[in-house]
Structure 1
Amino acid sequence: MKTQVKVLVVGGGAVGCGIAYHLAKAGWDTLLVERDELTAGSTWHAAGLLPLFNMGYATSHIHDYSVKLYASLEAETGLNAGFTRCGNLRMAQTDARMDEYMLYSATAETVGVEHEFLTPAQMKDRWPLLRTDDLKGALFHPTDGYINPADVTQALAKGARMAGAAIERKVQVNGYRWSGDDWVVTCERMVEKGGRLVPSGEVFEIRAEHVVTATGNHAQRTARLLGIKIPAIPVEHQYIVTEPDPALAAWRAAGNPEHPVLRDADAKWYVREERGGWILGPYEEGAPARFPYDVPETFRADLFPLDLERIEEEYMSMIHRLPSSETVGLKDDFNGPICYTPDGNPLVGPAPGLRNMWLAEGFSFGITAAGGVGHYLTQMMTQGEAEIDMASLDPRRYGKWMTTEYAVTKNEECYSHVFILHHPDEEREAARPLRTAPAYDRQIAAGAQMGQVNGWERPNYYGPKDAPADFDHKARSFRRGGWWQYARDEAQAIRDTAGLIDASAFAKHSVSGPGATAFLDWFTTNKLPKPGRINLTYALTEAGTTRTEYTIVRRGENEYYLVSAGAWADYDSDNLRKLAEEMGGEFGPVHIHDVTNQYGVFALAGPNSRAILAELIRDADPATALSNKRFPWLSAKDIELGMCPTMAIRVAYTGELGWELHHPVEFGRYLWDQLVKAGEKHGLKLVGARAQNWLRQEKSYRAFGTELGRDATPLEAGLDRFVDLDKEFNGKAKMLAKGIRSKCVTLLIDGPADADPWGREGLFLDGERVGRLTSGGWSVAFGKQIGMGYVRPELSVPGTKLKVRMFRELYDAEVAEDSPFDPSNARIRQDG
């Protein structure tokens, strides 16, 4: 067998074989090793469904690619993958569920996934065995269906071999070591003895420039071998197979087509035909996580005992929906481990802290994802980035704070939420509160309704203590939730008086050392600021797209403080460290420290913010300490606010006069109390993240994860003023080579009276889709909906009339000038 390759793929399930297939076809010398037989993990007992439905943009692309690929595999490899394209009928019992489907439809439309809406009467007409009298409607995917997991895996494996890949079974990986140039992977042959898989004693090494792990249920072992954390832990998933249903047999004998895969989302199950009977797969409460530390050596293609009591409610609801199934018995059952992650998205991309190590772990829908993940991960590895933004799947979205208990708790919750309504404003409760800033209790006492970002509790909005008794702050909606009125008042307060926002979740890094200036100049697109000043800048991917947005504060000649998006501390830290290490020989020593947890941040903004700070600042001349002359816009100063030492940055994400107050975290409660007290006579209002999100759109401030992502360049995002083309920086040539494929715009929208866009909606001109929203909300300045998104470059001219699709209707939208609110920044710059 090969002992030196370009890339080693570890794991021979559907995902591993899909990755090997695409890497080999891209021309990379590829070897896949599997500790047992291909499909021996979760692949063998998977139900083989191919659901196109997904609320995520990247995952929708992945699933869509897979379904299209699987339909072509037989022609390419000669192996029938067992693909049955019967469609997928996703039923709705409530209006809220139909709202969910309409929001999903916006994503599907932008991806290009074929779908249609059906009424109960249309369902009953097509499939008379269904009970539909208590349904509101359904979403139908005609190109969906199911596949034989073993057959599609073997077809992908054959395709990989045809492209030059080698596949070795019964090879277990026992260690990884980075030599400085490549990975040295310690392996051992496995043999069967008495039905068990045991080490043979034959140990050898494989050297690989790159390694991809796709180890499924064995992800915790992989994490231990690599010395990292991977929050992929299996949860039990059981499904049952019934005896033949005479009514179904009669239906098919009459020449009728196979039923689509049926999903009663409100009942939390899927059902499909199987040899004249039915397969029922529930996603019930109480399914336990398994193997939180390791898979037992004795566990191979094994199953757990069935727990029928746990799925009794779902079983009875199947009988309700398919009355003919009441008289059929059970023929077979499966209860096996399926990997999950805390948010349900797989972990796809670079491993934290490790060079040329790639993860493809935590797939709860691995059969559906296998082809698409192979395609887009291969693009990342061979081209520097995928054509779609894969940041939502990046393994580094979970930091070192993540523990086994956290992953178990959240993965169990995620399993039970597969069919729970996926509101855009949902906040799941398990494992919370966990990470809290010092002022957390003060905020709760003031009515804060919390969200969670990277484990941190962060106020979304503040609800009054005197709310009506029947008002539920936890109620969610696809339209305007109960929180909307409070967020609107908070946004208005920042425009009229002042608001205080806890932004402590911001990622914060210290970069210093003799090579810091040269490194950051190469690492980012903008000119570096002078000491005491700040700049907004961007770091690029190797493909020239946006990796991260930074606010850089220059503290000294070679001392910098970097602020970036709150959910991405470990992601940013990993990218900084890897590139600094890679370029260290050229620039000299660079010291990088993640100081996120050392500093809290309060954002004070609004016309009265200067007056509030003036109450607290300790200065020889407090009357002028905050003036434009002594403290100009886009500058940073060390000041004292009462007894709190503070690095104040004159910048505001809301587009008003304001400061970010970065302080040692242990002063957080004290400083919060002082600001609240000083603000009482100046109309200060506590403000949450939702109002801030609306306000930044009025200023056309792009946000990482929405407008800014790894699928668009800063020039396409309309950020030319933050890109210095007179200097050389990482990714510059690739950025320029991409040109301007689309352009980021801000739109004012005349939408429905009870809803705002969420940032997933398609944009249309004369019935043709010409772009999509990436953010959305309500503008207090203009009294209408607002959104940001991307359109074809020629449509980015202010005044262009477009349409936006919301709830299946088209509403008027007009491209606004950049920063439609206060375009001259007069309010930000105001003196006092």
Structure 2
Amino acid sequence: MKSHVKALVVGGGAVGTSIAYHLAKAGWQDVMLLERDELTSGSTWHAAGLLPYFNMSYATTWIHDHSIKLYKTLEEETGLNAGFSVVGNLRMAGSKERMDEYMLYAATAETVGVPFEWLTPGQVKDRYPLVNTDDLHGAIFHPTDGYINPADVTMAMAKGARQRGVTIERKWQVDGYEWTGSAWKVTLSKMAEKGGNLLPTEERTVVEAEHVVTATGNHAQRTARMLGIKIPAIPVEHQYIVTEPDPALQKWRAEGNGEHPVLRDADAKWYVREERGGWILGPYERNAPARFRYGVPDSFRADLFPLDLERIEEEYMSFIHRIPSSEEVGLKDDFNGPICYTPDGNPLLGAAPGLRNMWLAEGFSFGITAAGGAGHYLAQLMVEGEAEIDMASLDPKRFGSWITTDWAVAKDEEAYEHVYILHHPDEERPAARPLRTAPCYDRLKARGAQFGAVNGFERPNYFGPVDADARFDEHARSFRRGGWFDYAKAEAEAVRGAAGLIDASAFAKHVLKGPGAAAFLDWFTTNRLPKVGRINLTYALTDAGTVRTEYTIVRQAEDQFYLVSAGGWADYDRDFLQKAMEDKAAEFGPMVLQDVTTQYGAFALAGPRSRDILATLLRDADPEGALGNKRFPWLSAREIELGMVPLMAIRVAYTGELGWELHHPIEMQNHLFDWLMEAGEPLGMKLVGMRAQNWLRQEKSYRAFGTELGRDATPLEAGLDRFVDQGKAFHGKEAMEATGIRSKCVTLLVDGPDDADPWGREVLFSGDERVGRMTSGGYSVAFGKSIGMGYVRPDMAEIGTKLKVRMFRELYDAEVVEDSPYDPRNESIRADG
């Protein structure tokens, strides 16, 4: 056993072995992998081994694509056959809406370059006569994937890792982690079998590792306790059955026909593949329970749970309906094992919150599919400082420190159940909600608010009928213009024509102060710092020079700054900021960071009547003059009193109209809300949700973090040159400049279908050539057509360039327009009183 290593990977399943393999492949010479039992003894051993491309996440699609390509090369490299059966994957649709889902997914697949084909029910029947296609609307077929033997692919990657110098140690359990300031001291116990259990012996050792990666699968909760962090990855039961041979299938194969692809009936919530003349049926049923919420018992090793056939009866009957020959076939075997899930179904892949050189690779519900790509991109993060794709959507810090075990259980069970439920782009899943609510939540709900959740906060998406059924939002969902469209349109028109009030309390809010704060922030962000009482928009960059965080900075004093960033990313932003502060404290001086996200609420009031509304409430001798450009100019902040509420008003509006953000003590929110409603409604003010705001910000070409802004594009590529002061030194500057301009962010007006708008996942074409992808989409009330933003090749970014955008398998005209096509000279937002 080595006592000092560069990197220690904890966990010997498919994910752990892939990470060790890729770290060595990336050039790290001293890597060790630990497994508490035997390689593949966790969920890997009972996984069905399917390799589905289908995923609505752009980053996850890249990961799956890398895995599938990698697995086809392992035998040549290692001499071990990974057991990859490239039979393809046929995903069937039983409804028009399911086909709409597949067409939206295909947009993501097409941007990554994943091959697929569209099949009619007749074509499915011609290829696979055993399949009942009478009630199908169509199917999407991936010819390049299929299924693999999980143990074989894991052993192949383990051999590849050993060939590159990785040490693999079995029967060692981690009992503790201690950070020394430069390395991790990892305490280990030797494991041995005792009475059928795997228990620690008295043999102990300590390994020092510069970096640690945890890929502990079902043991993630034990890992979380040892590290003192929260990891919302908890196993959920997944059962599948193996049938006896099907004579009709045997006859089909005996006639010289090839193996069926993996069959997926999403509407029936199952997958099926051939297995030795029979079938494997794997359902994703309702009410599958989470297990091991506090840890895996010593008595559970490569064990299974009892099968619960009653729970999957509906799925089993639909299997017989789809493949009628299976009705007379008996059951041969069954598996019911734990598979880790996360609240959104995507893995936790990246740096651990609050810790140095600790990396998480947990919560892989499709671990075999993702293992190869996860190892590749995590190795890039660790070795090069950043991956070539934006990994923010998989970052462990996307779930805040407020989460609890009960919350994670509820959301993880929901994520399992939703594997085959329609993935609407406007869906809002209901489990564990409402939880985090602003004081005005009940007032908003009483006025028809239909809420979304961001970082656990309830936030209005739009306002429907006041007497709407509680499930109105569920009925309103669509892959096209949902039932919410007309409400959002009216809200956007109100902002452009009168005024709108938006609950923006979910914004992440931090206060940075102290003697070193100004010098640190000047180095940490791209723009020049504002003067006291003024604000600016700025960016913090990754080591690779790409966008890590967007901040609105309000300078409250020479050495005190109020930082506002995206609502879903409070812990993500705080972790990055805190670690950078610690690294630079000796250089810049002492400073303190406070997370005040839940201390202050925020309302955004915007529209041409917004000044009039505030003037009726402002406690000032000359309220109208106090709100004019002379005393309260654009991009400034002032402490004011509205009614009995002291607050900080910031003259800025994400909608591009005259407006203010009103940051107020959270405990006074309802008083302020009532005053604003009383003053605003007579002047045409409407309550406005996130969907209308998203449309409006696109009319102004305002980039959004998580769509246009991310760790795969620099601020210069994003077209944010005016927020980058290249006359000063700042973190990531040299890397940003060295990257150059690989693509450019543009705004497009789209002549799309009458019943749909782009969602921000679509491919952009010039002729037959793929030249970019959209990152945001919606409807423009100013132009009466679809609008969107995205990235294209630099030569395609000129104003007036004619492109095509793929929506629902058809190509529609799109034109690159000037930035801020609505009010390009900012006359509305700068309007004087």
With normalisation by structure 2, the TM-score equals: 0.99
Structure 1 pair 404–815 and aligned structure 2 pair: CA distance change class (3 A): same
Partner of 1:357: 358
Partner of 2:810: 809
Kept in 2: contact 1:473–1:482 (CA 8 A): no
1:436-475 deviation digits (Å, cap 9, x = unpaired):
0010000001000111101000000001236799976633
Kept in 2: contact 1:748–1:787 (CA 8 A): yes
Letter in 2 for 1:676: M
Matches within 5 A, 1:346-745: 346-465=347-466, 474-745=475-746
Give the Å deviation of 1:197: 1.2
Structure 1 pair 344–121 and aligned structure 2 pair: CA distance change class (3 A): same
What is the alpha-carbon distance in structure 2 between the residues aligned to residue 826 and residue 336 of structure 1? 62
Give the Å deviation of 1:12: 0.4
What is the alpha-carbon distance in structure 2 between the residues aligned to residue 454 and residue 629 of structure 1? 38
Give the Å deviation of 1:384: 1.2
Partner of 2:190: 189
Partner of 2:162: 161
* 3-state SS of paired residue (1:267): coil
Give the Å deviation of 1:144: 1.1
Kept in 1: contact 2:189–2:201 (CA 8 A): yes
Partner of 2:826: 825
What is the alpha-carbon distance in structure 2 between the residues aligned to residue 17 and residue 611 of structure 1? 63
Partner of 1:173: 174
- Answering whether residue 27 of structure 2 is matched by residue 24 of structure 1, we say no
1:588-615 deviation digits (Å, cap 9, x = unpaired):
1120111100000000000000000001
What is the alpha-carbon distance in structure 2 between the residues aligned to residue 572 and residue 261 of structure 1? 41
Kept in 2: contact 1:449–1:473 (CA 8 A): no
Partner of 1:217: 218
Letter in 1 for 2:295: D
What is the alpha-carbon distance in structure 2 between the residues aligned to residue 266 and residue 475 of structure 1? 19
- Answering whether residue 346 of structure 2 is matched by residue 345 of structure 1, we say yes
* 3-state SS of paired residue (1:135): coil
Letter in 2 for 1:111: V
Letter in 2 for 1:205: V
What is the alpha-carbon distance in structure 1 between the residues aligned to residue 149 and residue 710 of structure 2? 35
What is the alpha-carbon distance in structure 2 between the residues aligned to residue 780 and residue 382 of structure 1? 46
Partner of 1:5: 5
Letter in 2 for 1:748: L
* 3-state SS of paired residue (1:482): coil
* 3-state SS of paired residue (2:623): coil
What is the alpha-carbon distance in structure 1 between the residues aligned to residue 468 and residue 666 of structure 2? 32
1:555-601 deviation digits (Å, cap 9, x = unpaired):
00110000000000000010010110011111111201111000000
What is the alpha-carbon distance in structure 1 between the residues aligned to residue 110 and residue 206 of structure 2? 48
- Answering whether residue 199 of structure 2 is matched by residue 198 of structure 1, we say yes
Letter in 2 for 1:168: E
Partner of 1:269: 270
What is the alpha-carbon distance in structure 1 between the residues aligned to residue 725 and residue 64 of structure 2? 38
Kept in 2: contact 1:638–1:645 (CA 8 A): yes
What is the alpha-carbon distance in structure 1 between the residues aligned to residue 751 and residue 316 of structure 2? 45
Which deviates further from its counterpart, 561-570 or 576-585? 576-585
Kept in 2: contact 1:9–1:213 (CA 8 A): yes
What is the alpha-carbon distance in structure 1 between the residues aligned to residue 572 and residue 426 of structure 2? 24
1:52-108 deviation digits (Å, cap 9, x = unpaired):
111110000000000000000000000000000000000000000000000011100
Letter in 2 for 1:11: G
Kept in 1: contact 2:473–2:484 (CA 8 A): no
Give the Å deviation of 1:196: 2.1
Kept in 1: contact 2:611–2:624 (CA 8 A): no
Structure 1 pair 183–81 and aligned structure 2 pair: CA distance change class (3 A): same
- Answering whether residue 142 of structure 2 is matched by residue 141 of structure 1, we say yes
Matches within 5 A, 1:12-91: 12-28=12-28, 29-91=30-92
What is the alpha-carbon distance in structure 1 between the residues aligned to residue 120 and residue 642 of structure 2? 62
What is the alpha-carbon distance in structure 2 between the residues aligned to residue 767 and residue 626 of structure 1? 53
Q: How many residues align?
A: 832
What is the alpha-carbon distance in structure 1 between the residues aligned to residue 355 and residue 562 of structure 2? 24
* 3-state SS of paired residue (1:600): strand
Structure 1 pair 472–531 and aligned structure 2 pair: CA distance change class (3 A): closer
Partner of 1:238: 239
1:384-428 deviation digits (Å, cap 9, x = unpaired):
111011100000011111000000001111101100000000001
1:775-807 deviation digits (Å, cap 9, x = unpaired):
000000000000000000111111000000000
Kept in 2: contact 1:761–1:805 (CA 8 A): yes
Give the Å deviation of 1:620: 2.8
1:347-386 deviation digits (Å, cap 9, x = unpaired):
0001000011000000000000000000000111111111
1:713-755 deviation digits (Å, cap 9, x = unpaired):
0000000000011111111111111100000000000000000
Matches within 5 A, 1:121-132: 121-132=122-133
Kept in 1: contact 2:532–2:556 (CA 8 A): yes
What is the alpha-carbon distance in structure 1 between the residues aligned to residue 681 and residue 131 of structure 2? 61
Letter in 2 for 1:67: I
What is the alpha-carbon distance in structure 2 between the residues aligned to residue 160 and residue 543 of structure 1? 27
1:682-715 deviation digits (Å, cap 9, x = unpaired):
1111000000000000000000000000000000
Structure 1 pair 41–468 and aligned structure 2 pair: CA distance change class (3 A): closer
Kept in 1: contact 2:214–2:362 (CA 8 A): yes
* 3-state SS of paired residue (2:410): helix
With normalisation by structure 1, the TM-score equals: 0.99
What is the alpha-carbon distance in structure 2 between the residues aligned to residue 141 and residue 27 of structure 1? 34
Letter in 2 for 1:769: R
What is the alpha-carbon distance in structure 2 between the residues aligned to residue 718 and residue 156 of structure 1? 41
Unaligned runs of at least 5 residues, structure 1: none
1:606-662 deviation digits (Å, cap 9, x = unpaired):
000000000101013223110100000000000000100110000000000000000
Matches within 5 A, 1:103-118: 103-118=104-119
Structure 1 pair 517–471 and aligned structure 2 pair: CA distance change class (3 A): closer
Partner of 1:151: 152
Partner of 1:330: 331
What is the alpha-carbon distance in structure 2 between the residues aligned to residue 448 and residue 39 of structure 1? 48
Structure 1 pair 304–757 and aligned structure 2 pair: CA distance change class (3 A): same
Give the Å deviation of 1:811: 0.3
Partner of 1:782: 783
Kept in 2: contact 1:53–1:104 (CA 8 A): yes
* 3-state SS of paired residue (1:667): helix
Structure 1 pair 357–242 and aligned structure 2 pair: CA distance change class (3 A): same
Kept in 2: contact 1:176–1:186 (CA 8 A): yes
What is the alpha-carbon distance in structure 2 between the residues aligned to residue 98 and residue 268 of structure 1? 15
Letter in 2 for 1:143: T
Structure 1 pair 318–529 and aligned structure 2 pair: CA distance change class (3 A): same
1:281-321 deviation digits (Å, cap 9, x = unpaired):
00000100000001001110000000000000000100000
* 3-state SS of paired residue (1:293): coil
What is the alpha-carbon distance in structure 1 between the residues aligned to residue 466 and residue 226 of structure 2? 51
Structure 1 pair 192–180 and aligned structure 2 pair: CA distance change class (3 A): same
Letter in 2 for 1:48: G
What value does the CA root-mean-square deviation take over the aligned residues?
Answer: 1.0
Kept in 2: contact 1:761–1:773 (CA 8 A): yes
What is the alpha-carbon distance in structure 2 between the residues aligned to residue 383 and residue 66 of structure 1? 20
Partner of 2:319: 318
* 3-state SS of paired residue (1:680): helix
